[in-house]
């Protein structure tokens, strides 16, 4: 079966931090484009100048690249259908608004904002849905043209059909039928000559030859308007796919700003820019996002390549998806275990650098196999690996006193361990482990007690990667120095 190449686009507004929702649309867009041998496009929808935030566009581009979702066309790389920033496409929208006015599908509206507001208040009082009352819809076109020519300020409104129904087909929900009398004459072009989303997105999707529009289900409300606009131009419709909403982690209610700050307090985030800092990997994040609205098996661990192989829009689901950060941890940890040692070492290095630890590459390569199984996020490498690189460790004196023994007995264990290890030419784990185990036998103490003291002495902490393998990496001299130091601490207690 041959598949038609899809052209998909993510069309974020640069109005704040790049959110999971944008990443999810982009991921599905990317998968569909790659699956079908098509193109994935980034378009910046920046026509709401008041809401534009400086730096937000760059953050989107950086976020997509971090996720590995390279777009084929976009504002910074151009493409056949550019410009890809809507504020640079004003004339295109104005031209299209004129087409609709000329074919009777739209009209200029001269109503002043205060009159519109009054109408709205009255409608609310009557418990009606606020909508335009149609004053300028009834204007004689010649009269309207004259007023435009006189320089009066105006918007262009879409002339919604008033009778009958609009049937709009969503790929996941099927036909959605709306009575036209429920619909409103929405503004397409604002008084400043810039388009609203309704006009700009429809025109661009057509001009950029988009075949599949994937977007959030918050657009279902104005979906009938959008298909009416497409039809008024006489264009072919793209396939419309409205993705499910995100719910709070509890599953109760839509994700809110408050949930976002609560997540941050727990060390999580819904913003892509934070993911790297928190130690998440693009692989883990993509996998997590992929399954929030894609009905493959719950626990499917997939690389991007595997996702591309399996992706179809038919397997997307309209049911809401609760944000579950434990799943993010799960996918992140799972992908960390799949990286090669060299790859993981390179990814961990910046986290050590961030802590002021200069992690030598050859040591890093040795510790990766020791700590890998313990990492949920990449920055966990500090907790499990910083002691490898430090000149000294500073164990908590209480931790050196092992369970069931007092400080004196613990000091004796540490002294014996020192003697045994100092007698070895090197501290390879094959060499150290047997005599230490023999000592455990003869001492009558448990392995937990003896190795517990040794672990705290050489790593400075109670939880660490495998002890003897770790000592081998730390090296003879440093280990002996650290044990000596622990003995001194214990003797002073």
| Residues that bind ligand GLU in the complex, under the rule CB under 6 A | 11-13, 45, 197, 201, 215
Nearer to ligand GLU, 13 or 485 (CB): 13
155-158/106-109 β-pairing: antiparallel
CB of 283 to ligand GLU, least distance (A): 25
User: Is 257 a known active-site residue?
Assistant: yes
Strands 239-243 vs 212-216: parallel, antiparallel or unpaired: parallel
Q: Which is nearer to ligand GLU, 201 or 400 (CB)?
A: 201
Q: Which of 125, 252, 257, 492 is catalytic?
A: 257
Of 269, 270, 338, 271, the closest CA to residue 301 belongs to: 338
What minimum distance in Å lies between the beta carbon of 232 and ligand GLU? 18
Assess contact for 215 and 242: CB atoms under 8 A.
yes
Q: Which residues pair with 107 in a beta bridge?
A: 157
Tell me the CA distances in angstroms from 467 to 201, 350, 374, 416, 446, one per residue in order.
60, 25, 14, 17, 15
263 by DSSP, 3-state: which? Answer: helix
- Both structure tokens of 157: 């409104």
Q: Which helix (H) or strand (E) holds 459?
A: helix 447-459
**Cβ-contact 328, 285 below 8 angstroms:** yes
When the beta carbons of 55 and 350 are compared against ligand GLU, the nearer one is 55
User: Least distance in Å: CB of 76 to ligand GLU?
Assistant: 18
Closest distance between ligand GLU and the C-beta of residue 13, in Å? 4
**Cα–Cα dist 40/26, whole Å:** 8
Provide the minimum distance between the beta carbon of 264 and ligand GLU in the complex, in angstroms, as a whole number: 22
- Name the residue nearer to ligand GLU (CB basis): 74 or 465: 74
Minimum CB distance to ligand GLU smaller for 21 or for 381: 21
In the bound complex, what is the minimum distance in angstroms from residue 17's beta carbon to ligand GLU?
13
Quote helix, strand, coil % in the chain, to nearest 5.
Answer: 55, 10, 35
* Residue tagged 């613990």 (tokens): 410
With tokens 């608004």, the residue in question is 97
State the burial class of residue 176 (Cβ atoms within 10 Å of its Cβ: 0-12, 13-18, 19+): middle
CB-based burial of residue 111 (10 Å sphere; 0-12 exposed, 13-18 middle, 19+ buried)? Answer: middle
Q: Is 100 or 213 the residue whose CB approaches ligand GLU more closely?
A: 213
User: What is d(CA 214, CA 237) in angstroms, rounded to the nearest whole number?
Assistant: 13
Cα–Cα distance between 78 and 282 in angstroms, integer? 25
Nearer to ligand GLU, 13 or 459 (CB): 13
The phi, psi pair for 156, rounded to 5°, reads -110, 125
| Nearest distance, CB of residue 358 and ligand GLU, angstroms | 42
In angstroms, give the least distance from the CB of 44 to ligand GLU.
Answer: 9
Nearest to 66 by CA among 365, 236, 272: 272
Return the closest-CA partner of residue 145 out of 112, 101, 105: 101
Q: Among residues 260 and 443, whose Cβ is nearest to ligand GLU?
A: 260
Give me the active site residues, please: 257
């Amino acid at each position: 079966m041959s598949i038609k190449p899809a052209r998909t686009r993510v069309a974020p507004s640069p109005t704040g931090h790049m959110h999971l929702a944008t990443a999810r649309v982009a991921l599905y867009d990317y998968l569909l484009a790659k699956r079908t041998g098509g193109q994935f496009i980034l378009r910046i929808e920046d026509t709401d100048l008041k809401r534009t935030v400086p730096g937000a566009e760059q953050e989107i581009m950086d976020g997509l690249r971090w996720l590995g979702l390279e777009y084929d066309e976009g504002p910074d790389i151009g493409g056949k259908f550019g410009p890809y920033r809507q504020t640079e496409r004003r004339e295109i929208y104005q031209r299209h608004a004129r087409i609709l006015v000329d074919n009777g599908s739209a009209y200029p509206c001269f109503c002043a904002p205060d009159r519109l507001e009054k109408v709205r208040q009255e409608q609310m009082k009557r418990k009606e849905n606020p909508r335009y009352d149609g004053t300028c819809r009834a204007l004689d076109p010649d009269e309207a043209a004259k007023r435009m020519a006189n320089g009066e300020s105006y918007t262009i409104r879409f002339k919604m059909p008033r009778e009958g129904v609009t049937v709009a087909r969503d790929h996941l929900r099927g036909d959605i039928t709306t009575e036209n009398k429920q619909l409103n004459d929405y503004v397409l072009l604002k008084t400043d000559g810039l388009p609203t989303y309704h006009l700009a997105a429809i025109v661009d999707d057509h001009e950029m030859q988009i075949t599949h529009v994937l977007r959030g289900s918050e657009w279902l409300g104005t979906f009938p308007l959008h298909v009416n606009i497409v039809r008024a131009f006489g264009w072919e419709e793209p396939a419309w796919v409205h993705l499910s909403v995100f719910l709070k982690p509890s599953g109760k209610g839509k994700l809110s700003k408050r949930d976002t700050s609560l997540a941050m307090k727990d060390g999580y985030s819904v913003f892509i820019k934070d993911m790297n800092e928190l130690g998440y990997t693009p692989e883990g994040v993509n996998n997590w996002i992929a399954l929030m609205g894609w009905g493959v098996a719950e626990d499917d661990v997939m690389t991007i390549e595997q996702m591309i192989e399996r992706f179809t829009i038919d397997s997307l689901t309209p049911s809401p998806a609760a944000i579950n950060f434990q799943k993010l941890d799960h996918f992140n940890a799972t992908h960390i275990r799949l990286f090669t040692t060299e790859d993981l070492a390179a990814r961990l290095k910046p986290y050590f650098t961030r802590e002021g630890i200069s992690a030598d590459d050859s040591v890093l390569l040795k510790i990766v196999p020791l700590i890998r199984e313990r990492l949920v996020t990449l920055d966990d490498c500090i907790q499990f690996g910083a002691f490898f690189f430090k000149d000294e460790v500073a164990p908590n004196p209480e931790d050196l006193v092992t369970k069931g023994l007092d400080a004196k007995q613990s000091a004796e264990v540490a002294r014996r361990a020192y003697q045994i290890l100092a007698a070895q030419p090197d501290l390879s784990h094959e060499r150290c482990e047997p005599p230490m185990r023999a000592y455990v036998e003869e001492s009558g103490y448990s392995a937990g007690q003896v190795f517990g003291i040794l672990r705290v002495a050489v790593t400075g902490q109670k939880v660490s990667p495998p002890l003897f393998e770790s000592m081998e990496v730390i090296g003879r001299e440093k280990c002996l120095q650290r044990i000596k130091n622990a003995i001194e601490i214990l003797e002073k207690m």
